[in-house]
Amino acid sequence: MYGHTGKILRVNLSTAKVSDLATKNYESWVGGHGMGSAIFRDLARDKTIGPFDEGNVVTIMTSPLTGTLAPGGASRTEMQGIGAQSSPIGWFTRSNVGGRFGAMLKYAGWDGIVIEGKASVPVWLDIRNDDVKIREAGRLWGLDTWETQRQIWKQVTGGADWAEVETEKGRGRTTQKPAVLAIGPAGENRCRIAAVIHDAGNAAGQGGFGAVWGSKNLKAISVIGTQSVSIADPKALLEARAWAQKNFTLDVDDPAAMTGSRSVMGNIQFRSLSSFGSAPVPAVFWPRSMPHRPQACVGCPAGCRTRTASGLGNESSCAETAIYTVFDFKKNAGPLTHLLNRIAERAMGDLGVMVVGMFSKKPRDNSYKATDLAQRLGINAFELFKGIPYMRDLYKMGALGPGKSIACDLDFDDLGSLDFARKLLHAIAHREGIGDDVADGFYRAAGKWGRLDEDLASGLLPYPYWGLPDHYDPRFQVEWGYGSVMGDRDINEHGLNMLFWMPTAAQIFGIKPFMSAEEAVGAFTEKMEPYAGDPLMLDYSEDNMYSAHVAKTVAWHRRYTRFWKQSALFCDYLFPDFMNAASADKRGLTGVAEPKFLNAVTGGDLSFAGGIELGRKIWNLDNAIWTLQGRTRDLVRFAPYIHRTPLRGTALVPGRVNGKWAYINAKGRKVSEEKFEQWKTNFYELEGWDPKTGWPTRKTLAALGLPAVADELDAAGKMGKD
């Protein structure tokens, strides 16, 4: 089994039993999410339970690429189970973490881990190749995620620079520290917005899995291995990597490659494989003037994360670096920066302040330290990113504060100080004061405060679906919003929103877009199997956003991501790569690279379209699980503000105007509730699901090789009508 070790670790915390599953029984799903969904479906006897029920099954799966040199595919790990974060139902959901945990798990001889039951006392899992022990975690309970990892490193290695680990063939040696997934106080206290943290800043954030681990009394999983991953054709894998670097990367020694639109495409890293050969700018929202260097996950050439000379903010990127920057910059700005902040805030809101801060020459340590504190406590950064501004707005309105309708003893006039950040994050993680409400997520907190309906109607609470925070607004980033509400969580899949970022970045920098709208749409849709060649799939105009063409867009996106991103486990930051500044024809390597890398490792002959079809099978299995949990068509809806409140700010997307392609501004747009219902019908019919209920049909499931899943739905009385 090339790319696989052949076995999956199975741990029952209730009985303290350690066993294994044969990977070959799930090999048809390839890896990652597909395997995780299939295992959950087999082992979770009751899929209607809550996230904190002992019967919840958590899977942590790698892919054949994990631990190899497949660029952007060597490090990812997929975590699944019934989540704690979403509302009103804790859906069967997923999260994803990079770094080195997945690779180390493979080096220890395991393709994944299945966690069942609940320990009677706090425990941690100690994996040293084939030697697996469930150890008491009494001394670790209460520690933050960083200190937990330090203590485990010390215990496993004895403080030495290298470790000896038993293997079936003798003793192995490694200079690596154990790779550890850990929860902090937030997870221990079952905060529904708790994350699982690996190393300094890698997080399985969405889904509330930190709280799920806490409910199981599972503090950490440590793994160290001295083995290797068997690859079918190592020469082909290295040649594929060299091919990608030669044809799809910018040359940092070429001045022409570092200026103009090519620089915007490649070096600011709007998701381009140009980062292979460029000097990548880490995806952070704080000043970059502090001495730093790129830091990458195992096997990846991109280096989108960072290591700083001060040691602050290491490995954190994107949302977690933005949770406090706005408030830090506004509170601590000098006179000129303060003026720029006010101008930027009026033009672009909080995002404008962050942009000003990114180009500031003076580091603001409060931003770094608040981010590090969230990582140490194990709190989901995206909830904080949207929730702290919500609390600030309530304070400004006079609804929150001492003696107000929402009692809060935090001094929001001090927002931006390190002291304020410490008090707020500590209160959340330890469920103290207003932190007890916020620990369950700002959606549930708004319900406790009697503000949910009002704030969802106005958009003051920007949570468009399933009680989860807005990422890219459904009023303009249509496939993102539609895909999220049809699924289980904010998708956090950036494959198509390059069509927004590219023209937007060009406008910000005052340059010509890298591609015209018509060129860009063509570059994308020519590879979107099995619907390739339909440019109307990416027409974001209001006339088209409810069409059957857009139903195909969402269906393709769900299938591509379910397999190539979440099962084969290619990184979302690098894939798909439809347009590329370094290639001769501006086309990226998507459609060719994914199967090229996977087949070199496995020795198979899976095509790009074949992976899309596997993604369709996985997507249908997931929907069947949601159906068993209680999903119906009527539950699939947006928050009222998406339908009632016009979109603020500029949002450029491709669309047709009088029959001609252009980048159009979606500002002022709303989603028609009536037309969205028609779009749902289009989508269900395209997927072969019952349009009245949204449930899968026996015909569709049988055609995908899932007759047993159909039988389970039938027995539960939840089979869609053909």
pLDDT tens, 550-563? 999 999 999 999 99
Mean pLDDT, the chain, whole residue set:
92
Q: Poorest-confidence range of 92-101, 328-337, 354-363?
A: 354-363
CA 52 to chain CA mean position, Å: 22
pTM of the model: 0.95
- Burial (CB count <10 Å: 0-12, 13-18, 19+), residue 516: middle
Whether residue 504 has pLDDT greater than 50 = yes
Strand partners, 135: 124
Q: Poorest-confidence range of 163-167, 337-341, 422-426?
A: 337-341
Identity of the residue numbered 314:
N
- From residue 524, give the alpha-carbon distance in Å to each of 556, 587, 590: 12, 9, 9
pLDDT tens by residue, 2-57: 999 999 999 999 999 999 999 999 999 999 999 999 999 999 999 999 999 999 99
- From residue 626, give the alpha-carbon distance in Å to each of 89, 96, 392, 616: 10, 19, 35, 15
Domain regions of the chain by residue span:
7-224, 234-308, 319-450, 478-715
Question: Which helix H or strand E contains 112, and what residues bound it?
Answer: strand 112-116
Whether residue 334 has pLDDT greater than 70 = yes
CA 174 to chain CA mean position, Å: 30
pLDDT tens by residue, 66-82: 999 999 999 999 999 99
pLDDT category of residue 361 using cuts at 50, 70 and 90: low
What is the pLDDT at residue 197? 98
Q: Torsion-angle region of residue 311: left (phi > 0), alpha (psi -120 to 50) or beta?
A: left
Q: What is the Cα gyration radius of the chain? A: 24
**Measuring CA to CA, which residue among 610, 607, 600, 612 is closest to residue 241?**
600
- Kindly report the backbone phi and psi dihedral angles of residue 661, in degrees, each rounded to the nearest multiple of 5, phi listed first: -75, 140
Task: Quickly list DSSP for 629-640.
Answer: HT--GGG----H
Question: How far apart are alpha carbons 15 and 138 in whole angstroms?
Answer: 18
What is the pLDDT at residue 257? 54
**Which option is the CATH number for 478-715: 1.20.58.100, 1.10.10.10, 1.10.599.10, 3.50.50.60?**
1.10.599.10
Q: Poorest-confidence range of 154-163, 211-220, 266-275, 507-516?
A: 266-275
- Burial (CB count <10 Å: 0-12, 13-18, 19+), residue 20: middle
Q: Is the dihedral of CA 545, 549, 555, 556 positive or negative?
A: negative
Whether residue 274 has pLDDT greater than 60 = no
Question: How far apart are alpha carbons 620 and 370 in whole angstroms?
Answer: 40
Question: How far apart are alpha carbons 108 and 165 in whole angstroms?
Answer: 10
Q: Which residue has the tokens 């209001």?
A: 542
Q: Poorest-confidence range of 426-430, 511-515, 618-622, 670-674?
A: 511-515
Q: Poorest-confidence range of 159-168, 336-345, 520-529?
A: 336-345
C-beta separation of 468 from 493 below 8 A: no
pLDDT category of residue 251 using cuts at 50, 70 and 90: low
CATH code assigned to 7-224: 3.60.9.10
What is the pLDDT at residue 291? 82
Question: How far apart are alpha carbons 240 and 536 in whole angstroms?
Answer: 33
Strand partners, 307: 293
Identity of the residue numbered 196:
V
- Burial (CB count <10 Å: 0-12, 13-18, 19+), residue 653: buried
Q: Which residue has the tokens 């109607």?
A: 457
**For residue 208, what are the contacts with CB-CB under 8 A and spacing of at least 6?**
51, 83, 84, 85, 90, 191, 192, 193, 194, 380, 441
pLDDT tens by residue, 134-148: 999 999 999 999 999
Pairing of strands 400-401, 406-407: parallel
615-638 mean pLDDT: 98
pLDDT tens by residue, 289-308: 678 887 889 988 877 888 88
Q: Which residue has the tokens 């047709």?
A: 656
- Dig out the tokens for 458 from the structure: 């106005």
Whether residue 1 has pLDDT greater than 80 = yes
